[in-house]
Structure 1
Amino acid sequence: MDNRRGKGLSFVKRIYLPRIIGLGIGLLSVAAALAPLSPPSWAWLLLLFNGLLWPHVAYQWARRSAAPYKAEHRNMLLDSLMGGFWTVAMQFNPLPTVTVLSMMTMNNVAAGGKRLVAQGILAQLAGMSLASALLGTGLHLNTTPLQIYACLPMLTLYPLALGWVCYHLAIQLAEHKRRLSALSLTDSLTGLLNHGAWKDLLLQHFQACQQQQQPAVIALIDVDHFKTINDTFGHVVGDCVLRQLSEDLKRHLREDDQAGRYGGDEFCLILPGTSEAQACQAMERLRERVAGYRNPQLPHLRISLSIGLSAFQADLESPEHWLEQADKALYSAKRCGRDQVNFASAEGTPLRLAYPD
């Protein structure tokens, strides 16, 4: 959080506008309470600086700091110190005092929780001690109508500004949570579902097929001789092959189809509402497209796929059993020469699919 390009700087920016609004309208409350007490001229100059210039000085000070978060934490404690200073300067006039101290505390709660609140109280006490030494102490318990009206903007506008900042922060946190959730389900290399997320969806589709008696096919796809590709052309090229295949799947699959990276050079598909013939045609088109990949910089690179398919059957015991049938079909395709699509029969025996030349 101390990184000036990270959360520390964003924290400084979030505090900037509420500080401008809070100290600007707080100036009215304090000025109305100070006026009957005839404070020295330097107190008025300090009040103008604190209310009008300090927000910008504090922002630039923290923004240019090597540790923006710590710098803004320091600025908030200075805000609390000045809040305590003005309560003594106002001779503890009830409404302005409660208004200033409560708004300061609200800000500390929102920005730093209990720890900052405790530190803020100590800073307020330090400010009170400083004001007592410079201005003396007194007690003025009568609040005039003018002072009441002067406190109204602070009691209404500042909570609104703080609430607005908190609302936008909540929206940002919700978006970050959504992105983190998506990342936890996604394979970092290919952008497809990772192994665990895809297995969870397989269970859902298996249960849906059982309940609704809808057709579905799953596919396991293996890049043939992928280790040789890595050894011959390097792992960077191997990663490019996997990304190219994943992009092909994203472009050509239907919206309801679910693609994932099963592990290493294996990919997995769920094709809901798909017949055996449709699945075979779709996977054969995929195999042919991949076989046609050419890279002018790597003219000797050839890519082929072995694909195993398994249709949902009512007698399947579990999603794992369904996946096992596709796995058997895949390894049958690899044993029979690779670069082909095989389908698991109802008896669990893989069938090689032949297509006319």
Structure 2
Amino acid sequence: MSLPGPEHAANPDHAHMLANKWMNASKLAELVKTEGNCCSLVTGLVYKKGKFSAIEEQQVKAAIENYRNSRGMNDEQILEIIFQKNEKMKDNVFWSEITSSVPQRPIIAVYHYVRRAYHPKKHQGKWSPEEDGLLKQAVTDLGQQWEKVGEVVGRMSSDCRDRYRNHIAHRDIRVSGPWTKEEEDELTKIVTEMTVHQGKDIDNDVFWGVVSEKMGNKRGRQQCRIKWTDALSKTVKNEGQRPRWSPKDAYILVHKVDSLNVRDDTEIDWKTLSDPDWNLWSAHSLQRRWLTMKRGIKGFEDMTHQEIMDILRVKKAHLPPSSASSRKRKVISAPNIDDGDTNGGDQTSVAGGSEAGPSTSRRGTGGDHGDSSSDSE
């Protein structure tokens, strides 16, 4: 099997640029694609996207505290900097210093993360029917200007955005419950046309807002993403046959995670674990399988990642023998795709928008790959 190597140290030039230059997703993607271009000032940009790891969260928190202490500021003054109402008046010195604490993170990503993490209204619980009604009216009046909508509703702008897109928009035509075979076939056709037929990644290069629209908004973005990553993706990759997780898969997963040499499993980029010969499982499926194994260890809550890794390494020390009766697994390729050849599978309910750990990108970001910052899955 192919083992992913440990994360490379951040390129100092890349880190400086990411901490000082405000770039949107398109500009970041453009710089990623300049790899190999000797004329580019920054070639082959590597940066992280996705959920911040627990260690990154601690680093950001410490950087903010250091900034506050070094300038003799109180908490209220720090919040004034973080929530500057006029975005054009952002304190670039503050944001650059905080971003420098998490190399490979763009300053715009740190800006949005900090504003979510320190928002006074971030823990407000379940939405009430009255809030849903207020949100719907606010969007009708203001459009999708989420900062203004958030002020009207009394919720974080990102919460309003995600609530509206995932639960309010097209609610009158939204279908819930088990998927029909026809729906599964339609979803498979849409996703494969958007990815495999265009030479893109079948799991990671999907714009779920677009997928939902192509399905007539009968199924929402979250519904489509969950159905695909937890059920249909692995079936399509296995030529229409639903694969089963095996002891061999568990062995491979443990040894791949071990090879990463991470300090905590929240640092893992689950997208990097698959390889051409072991590609059936989506990043989300691998993360869930890992959590199941980890939670099967008595007292895991009080153990470090290394202690957990030591136990699992012993448990999975030997490669299980291959079963003669096991079905040969196929690697997906565009010519082998049959748009209607899928048996579906079970749908596992998960929290929306949960990206598995930070993702180190060489492809840039798409328009809706993460609920935390854009029109997401």
For normalisation by structure 2, the TM-score amounts to: 0.17
Larger radius of gyration: 1
Higher relative contact order (CA 8 A, sep 6+): 2
Structure with greater strand percent: 1
**Structure that is richer in helix per residue:** 1
